[in-house]
Structure 1
């Protein structure tokens, strides 16, 4: 089973209080109403709907890490290489994670790196860092010093939106058959270009991906991995797909003149309070709730 990042946690503190931490945005943004229409069911194609090569690999829609299920077949390259080139950023965005974090503190010489960290919030608006794996002891010492600098990479929105474009396109193909026309041709060209990029840093910008309408909710609307849905916007209704009950992606693209580039680097000074020993009593993921007795510093 693919491991899921915790969306919320409850931590029992020594003084009897319970600390609840959740995945929430700093800015809730605009609100919108989404109406689910019908679940998208499995449909296999002889040829990969992205590039036309023989379809030999089971494809999760959306990625399994987000809670997707196998709904179709693509070629191995479109499955695996798009997974590494663009879907890693999509997963980081969905899970509230930053990549390649490094810490610096006056008490420890040099920087110390971690694999990945998740940002979560308390009801009071404070943040909690959740390490993806066991923290480096030097990083623990830095945190205990109370004053340190964090440098990390935010998810790249071009790669993230290409991941959304891939799965919105596949969902549309599952619903209507392999799409035809100029827009579909451009989508396929963009996805193949992202697949064939030398590495993640060289993934080309996509106008089609940049023009998608994307809305996210942090409370699931449905438990279906992919469902045809309509978003009710003041400018009119927009048809698309609702992925894992939380992310709506349009099946149309308002193509901008230029695909935007966003600043990916995160630099933040952290002021950390004194360490407190607690016990994680429950963990909520997109797949459900589990209990734990692990200690938390």
Structure 2
């Protein structure tokens, strides 16, 4: 998939990161969000990220300006009608994603591929909401997108080999590594990572140690570059809870039950870095 026009639904942390990774590699990007504030914040995040790369000598100033010029924004899904590929990066809610995929299916070009950046929801189920299930696939990027090398590619039951190959080629073209994953709740990384974070929250809730001590223990004892609670703050406590709920409801296994403290903190609006407070303050 050479230099294509790619649409992204959702200008949050993941959507803006995906937009940056694609635009830097020469792709035209349409970044859409119903919230103008989210769009402005997303563009500011992209600009700030690129400026840091320039200071570190990893990106030329001219390339930054060119990449930013390739990103156009809108508050309307109709702006995606001419895209070759549309990546949905909205909130991790099944009802919202099903509605979005039905809408995108109705407006996108017949040959366009529809992808989801979901971290846990069934691609087969999302594909069934469209009239082009063979052209629906999962493209799960990791945060921060410009830095992380992995992209999980998830094929639903209906996904065609041609669709898989097209997105695999794109992933390779932007310098990332694709890992094909079967359509299963949480896929590979989050099936292992989110329960570990959840267990750290159980440990905190039970008073085994403080948040800083738990994170230090994992960094020093398991050689993790970041502690599980700080990582949860980066991901978003609401995202962690959503993934754990999908795992619990899908497998009906109590080992996936969300930690009560996680549920309470999300109810309080303490969602991590994006709200200024999670297990730590920002």
Higher strand share: 1
Write 1 or 2 for the structure with the bigger share of helix: 2
Q: TM-score, normalised by structure 2?
A: 0.25
TM-score normalised by the chain length of structure 1: 0.24
Q: Which has the higher contact order (CA 8 A, sep 6+)?
A: 1
| Greater C-alpha radius of gyration | 1
